[in-house]
Structure 1
Amino acid sequence: MDFIFGDLPQPVPSQAFRLCTAHFSPQFVLNQGLYDAGVVSKLLLMKRSIPTIRHPLPTIETGAIRPVSQANTSRSIGCQTDPLPKRSVGTQLSKDTLKTHVRSRASQTSVVCENVWSPPLLTSTPLKPLPPKKRPRLELEDDDNEWEASIEATDPNDSTFIQSVSMTTESSTVSQASPPYDVPKYIVYENCLLELFELCPVCSSMCDVRKTIRGTFLAVDQTCHRCEFNRQWKSQSFIGSTPAGNIHLSAAVYFTGTSFIQMKKVFNAFGVKSMRYQAFRKHAKSYLEPAIVWKWKKAQQVELQSLSQQSKVIIGGDMQADFPGHCAKFGSYTVMNLETNTVIDIQLVKSNEVGGSYYMEKEGLKRSLALLEASGVTLDCIVTDRHPQIQKYLREKGITQYYDVWHIDKGMSKNIDKLAKEKDCEVVKKWQQSIRNHLYWTASSSKTGPEKVAKWTSVINHIHNIHTHEDPLFPKCEHSDVLDKRRWLKPGSKASYRLEKVLTNKRFIKGVEKLSPHHQTSSLEAFHSVVIRFAPKSVVYPFIGMLCRLYLSAFHFNENANRPQSTSALGDPAFKLAFPKAKKGGYSLKRRKIEPTFCYVNELIALTFESVVPDPAPFTEELQKITIPEDLCAEFSVPSMEEAMAGFVSRFNPAQVENQCR
């Protein structure tokens, strides 16, 4: 004490005196740089430090004396002006209104802080940090109280120090206030991330860093054994006990129709952590599939309510099997409003429900028509293919049925191709495209069935260069007189006889009589191609999984079916050339449409996080109303694994297999 007073006053115990760090040279201070930068609020001295400054210059700050470092009076050379007072865009308040001002690490100037607090001496037991009276709005949001405490006070011996969260841009403010599914994500390498936790922010010592991984979630625990500083950092927030990123990844994979297995392969090749397939299926069963079914039912009710107010509705129906041929497990029958190109209903039928895959199409149509009738929808007609069971059922129900022209044309073209390969019939191939054009013209220009038949049978006279006909419904061809005379068929020739037999077939004439005049099922075929993207035929899905993927494909098709045609840079309509395999070198000119949208994915993700995850009961009830058929193997006896292994014999090496089973 002689260093301070010269002569120590009597009687005063020496234990009552505390020496300020201002009496020590900077060489004895451990964290002078952190103190000048505003990261810590007190200085730490080396052991056995010796005071050398007798009379430091005092600075009066609210009744307390505190040494002012040189950095507190300096100014950035780069700006040449004093910093202007700024206000956070996210709060519309000044920084001093929210919390004790702490200088941002990004700035190069120091701000003299008010309300200086004298910290207690270091003790062996760390003090529990005091929580603030009111949590500032700019702090990180999390439901874990332990995480909040570790973020707010980085020094266990200094309860007044709160980590500064700098909100310098509007985007960062929006990210903090956005829900977990709407926050941008980034790919961060592990070694770059752990560099942030290697050094203690209080004493700059090496820290003990431990990782906790749970799917896409990462937690980092940082502990300093020198100053006993510790904190935990989390990569994402929690929804209940589940990391939000795991649910979001499952939702993104499922709602976009992506395969989890393929996504897992990409993530493994890239080195990105993800959850297991069992966790994905748990999320799908608990949250994702109930959300899809609930949203489809609501959208379907709105569509049926709109159709019930119309006088007549023209629909199209067709079935798609999950596998080609008669070995299909599922058959999905789709009913579409042909006037708006929107899917109205999808019925998924399992083959064991109806006794075989051949009867699935009729059962799907019956269920769809029953739903339309119960909703009060009045049908004008239905456009389908020429399935015999569908024809009989609609005839008995008294519903007007038309045939799609493309299906009739496909069967006719196959017969003409087969005929053109025979000897002396090669000339038929030259007439194939003209005959196809005549079929489409017959359907679009006729109003009644007999008129369609009259126009169609006129093609027999036309190919023989005869353009007047006996039928009064179509007495003369409507084309001009300038025709190519080198392609006429000779009456009585083999090619003429065989072609006339193909074009006037009794079943084919009945099909021509019921050709659809205006609406076709081409939109249904386009929808089937979308279904294959969401539910590939090479993958086996459970009943609910297949049904949900059908609903997702309907969401995508209804949103993008009527996209407008795109334009070029000059404003002209854009087209593209396509070379279909069926045309064998020929091309087709197609309109180029604008890029598709995926708004339904964002709506489903928002529904999952905002409604399904907090309370899944109402959504699960809608899913439980669906009747799930039995498995195909339920009617067979299933042997035990031991019995199956005992009877397993390889046809190439039976002895080796027997030894392995033993």
Structure 2
Amino acid sequence: MVSVGTQLSYSTLKNHVRSKAVQVSICNTAGTETSQQDTRFKLSSTPGKASAPSLGVRPAKRPRLELQEDEEDEGNLSENAQPHDSTYDLDDSPSEMRGMESTCDYTDPKYIVFESCLRDLFQTCPVCRWECVVQQRSLGTFVSFSQRCPNCQYTRKWQSQPIKGNTPVGNLQMSAAVYFTGASFIQMEKICKAMNLQMFHYDTFRRHARMFLEPAINHKWKTDQQTLVERLKEKDKIAVGGDMRADSAGPSPKFSSYALMHLDSNNIIDVQLVQSNEVGGSSNMETEGLRRGLDFLEAHLLDVDYIVTDRHAQVEKHLKERNVEQYYDVWHLEKDLSQQLENLAKNKECLVVRKWLPSIKNHIYWTATASKSGPEKVAKWKSLVNHLQNVHKHEDPLFPRCTHPDRVSRDPNKWFQPGSLALNKVEKLLLDKQILHDVEKLSHDHQISSLEAFHSTTERFTPKNDVLSFIGRLCRLYLAAMHFNENGKRDQSTSLEGKAVYKIMFPNCSNGQYITNPNQTAPTFQYVSDLMKLLFKKIFEDPTRYIEDLNEISIPEDRWTQFERPS
């Protein structure tokens, strides 16, 4: 084979023009027939280590993960071979393609391009205008084209995205975008299939998650958590709120998450994930989650002033043993009493109860916030029974008389009649011994409504109908905590005139009655940008240390391992 050529004036094409044997800037081939059989390849979604090529030295080929059937070399397989993964050989690409590996960044804008539009760019030779032979290779969101002119032997290769290691950057960034935003890959895959947008397989997504995404989430959460702890150490004592959320409704959930919140700043301090079989059943999950959370606070030398929780009996017993002061959230008591009163109002002889439901609900909150003293709360709570009969003087010395002026109505239907069935049932319910005990412990300062809002946030990151592994669910809880801490205290939005904006809502529990809530500003997603930067700048280069940190998390055995599987 002899290559004879003339110097071309196409200076912009000289790096693309090459022969089979020698890459030069002159490309006219005379008197020979060159056999150029393009070997098919695919790219790897699992990166391999590759050193940057030095000047004048041919870079070593990256380890192959899987070779195609038409390739002759079958002895260089990797242990992590996947059925749809292979290696892109950068040696076969022009020099400017190898430069693209380092110049392109994950922050570059992306566009949806049709395949027919791309093929139009490679149909004809830019030198002699002949029709070229075009070969296409793809893996997930990546696509490349090889162009060869049969007339002047002009060749060119083009790829749609940069490659780092042996991984297309777009594939990894797609996995990261789905995971970091709390989205579902299955739903994303359905969307891509509906519009015939090329996407990689679920196995590739899970491999990205294990090697890069979950270590990045774990590292960032631990870093943010440590920063929050150091800030809280400056305070003498902190008030926290705690509550549990189960992964499924019913008496036997598999997972439950227990969150501790700093009530002054509305920041999530710690999230604990508990599996039912590691604590002997779902009834012990809330207590175990609380115990782990308090152990974390003690290990980091945070002194708890008091904790606000629901009215769980085992939680109360555990806090007494640890000598931690406990208060009850008002909403949980109001919800329980409202349900019982609504059931009572269905009786024909107790229809007057329904008229008093809003006032009774307001009285619960007024009793809790009016005083810190437990006995004074009970005295004010007992005054509610006198109000129902239009009596405003009380026998209790702590609260002998109401502070508002007497209002006497001539309509007897507005009040409970002494000795009536309705009054007896309401009085029995409101003055129950357990209710009086719970009223005495109602929180006077903070409530855990923000913690309930955090549980609503976790619904978007860990839907109850999604089947997730222990680490996968824990990392998504960390994402929910990062999102909530960043957006937990958003400002109220204003109009162009500078006026505060509100929105009208109709809650299901209000039976058509509306409420007004401040309209908050749009949420931000800075934590997603920080995770992307951490992924591509640090973890992708060397994930070993981050994977080791993730492996330190204790993972309980699955519940099915306790049972014998049938043949």
TM-score (structure 1 length as normaliser)? 0.72
Query: Does the 8 Å contact 1:150/1:231 carry over to 2?
Result: no
Q: Which amino acid aligns with 2:133?
A: D
Residue 90 of structure 2 corresponds to 144
Find the aligned partners of 1:612 and 1:198 in 2 and give their Cα distance. Answer: 40
Query: Does the 8 Å contact 1:428/1:495 carry over to 2?
Result: yes
1:625 aligned residue (552, 559, 562): 552
Find the aligned partners of 2:546 and 2:138 in 1 and give their Cα distance. Answer: 31
Query: Does the 8 Å contact 2:29/2:153 carry over to 1?
Result: no
Matches for 1:11-160 after TM superposition, within 5 Å: 41=9, 122-124=29-31, 144-149=90-95
Is 1:491 the counterpart of 2:418 in the alignment?
yes
Q: Residues 388 and 228 from structure 1, CA distance in 2 versus in 1: closer, same or farther, beyond 3 angstroms?
A: same
Find the aligned partners of 2:435 and 2:289 in 1 and give their Cα distance. Answer: 26
Q: Which amino acid aligns with 1:456?
A: W
Q: Which amino acid aligns with 1:619?
A: Y
Is 1:604 the counterpart of 2:531 in the alignment?
yes
- Equivalent residue of 1:381, what SS? strand
Query: How far does the alpha carbon of each residue in 1:332-384 deviate from its partner, in whole angstroms, 9 at most, with x for none?
Result: 00000011001000000000001100100000000010110010000100000
- Equivalent residue of 2:456, what SS? helix
Residue 454 of structure 2 corresponds to 527
Q: Which amino acid aligns with 1:324?
A: A
- Equivalent residue of 2:124, what SS? coil
Find the aligned partners of 1:208 and 1:121 in 2 and give their Cα distance. Answer: 17
Residue 465 of structure 1 corresponds to 390
- Equivalent residue of 2:512, what SS? coil
1:427 aligned residue (343, 348, 352): 352
Structure number with bigger Rg: 1
Task: Note the C-alpha offset of 1:178.
Answer: 6.8
Task: Note the C-alpha offset of 1:324.
Answer: 1.2
Q: Residues 125 and 475 from structure 1, CA distance in 2 versus in 1: closer, same or farther, beyond 3 angstroms?
A: farther
Give the aligned CA root-mean-square deviation in angstroms: 2.5
Q: Which amino acid aligns with 2:9?
A: S
- Equivalent residue of 1:459, what SS? helix
Residue 438 of structure 2 corresponds to 511
Residue 408 of structure 1 corresponds to 333
Q: Across the two proteins, how many residue pairs are aligned to each other?
A: 500
Residue 293 of structure 1 corresponds to 218
Task: Note the C-alpha offset of 1:482.
Answer: 3.8
1:587 aligned residue (501, 514, 526): 514
Find the aligned partners of 2:97 and 2:375 in 1 and give their Cα distance. Answer: 83
Find the aligned partners of 2:180 and 2:96 in 1 and give their Cα distance. Answer: 37
- Equivalent residue of 2:491, what SS? coil
Is 1:191 the counterpart of 2:121 in the alignment?
no
Query: Does the 8 Å contact 1:126/1:228 carry over to 2?
Result: no
Query: How far does the alpha carbon of each residue in 1:424-475 deviate from its partner, in whole angstroms, 9 at most, with x for none?
Result: 1100110111111111011111120001001010111111111111111111
Higher RCO (CA 8 Å, separation ≥ 6 residues): 2
- Equivalent residue of 1:333, what SS? strand
Q: Residues 383 and 146 from structure 1, CA distance in 2 versus in 1: closer, same or farther, beyond 3 angstroms?
A: same
Task: Note the C-alpha offset of 1:181.
Answer: 1.5
Query: Does the 8 Å contact 2:377/2:439 carry over to 1?
Result: yes
Residue 316 of structure 1 corresponds to 241
Find the aligned partners of 2:545 and 2:261 in 1 and give their Cα distance. Answer: 28
Q: Which amino acid aligns with 1:395?
A: K
In structure 2, list runs of 5 or more residues that go unmatched: 1-5, 14-24, 35-54, 57-87
Task: Note the C-alpha offset of 1:148.
Answer: 3.0
Find the aligned partners of 1:126 and 1:597 in 2 and give their Cα distance. Answer: 61
Equivalent pairs: percent with the same residue?
Answer: 49
2:491 aligned residue (557, 564, 586): 564
Query: Does the 8 Å contact 1:143/1:238 carry over to 2?
Result: no
Residue 198 of structure 2 corresponds to 273
Find the aligned partners of 2:252 and 2:522 in 1 and give their Cα distance. Answer: 37
Find the aligned partners of 1:534 and 1:625 in 2 and give their Cα distance. Answer: 23
Which consecutive segments of 4 or more residues in structure 1 shift more than 6 A? Answer: 118-121, 175-178
Query: Does the 8 Å contact 2:94/2:157 carry over to 1?
Result: no
Query: Does the 8 Å contact 2:101/2:164 carry over to 1?
Result: no
- Equivalent residue of 1:325, what SS? coil
Find the aligned partners of 1:194 and 1:280 in 2 and give their Cα distance. Answer: 28
1:335 aligned residue (260, 263, 278): 260
Task: Note the C-alpha offset of 1:143.
Answer: 9.8
Find the aligned partners of 2:130 and 2:96 in 1 and give their Cα distance. Answer: 18
Residue 77 of structure 2 corresponds to none
- Equivalent residue of 1:181, what SS? coil
Find the aligned partners of 1:415 and 1:517 in 2 and give their Cα distance. Answer: 24
Find the aligned partners of 1:401 and 1:309 in 2 and give their Cα distance. Answer: 23
Q: Which amino acid aligns with 1:634?
A: T
Q: Which amino acid aligns with 1:473?
A: L
Q: Which amino acid aligns with 1:511?
A: D
- Equivalent residue of 1:209, what SS? strand
Find the aligned partners of 2:270 and 2:335 in 1 and give their Cα distance. Answer: 27
Q: Which amino acid aligns with 1:123?
A: A
Residue 165 of structure 2 corresponds to 240
Query: Does the 8 Å contact 2:27/2:152 carry over to 1?
Result: no
In structure 1, list runs of 5 or more residues that go unmatched: 1-20, 22-34, 43-99, 103-117, 128-132, 135-141, 153-164, 166-174, 641-662
1:479 aligned residue (385, 388, 404): 404
Residue 97 of structure 1 corresponds to none
Residue 63 of structure 2 corresponds to none
Is 1:454 the counterpart of 2:422 in the alignment?
no
Query: How far does the alpha carbon of each residue in 1:264-319 deviate from its partner, in whole angstroms, 9 at most, with x for none?
Result: 00001111101000000000011000111111111111111222221010000000
Q: Residues 462 and 251 from structure 1, CA distance in 2 versus in 1: closer, same or farther, beyond 3 angstroms?
A: same
Q: Residues 576 and 316 from structure 1, CA distance in 2 versus in 1: closer, same or farther, beyond 3 angstroms?
A: same
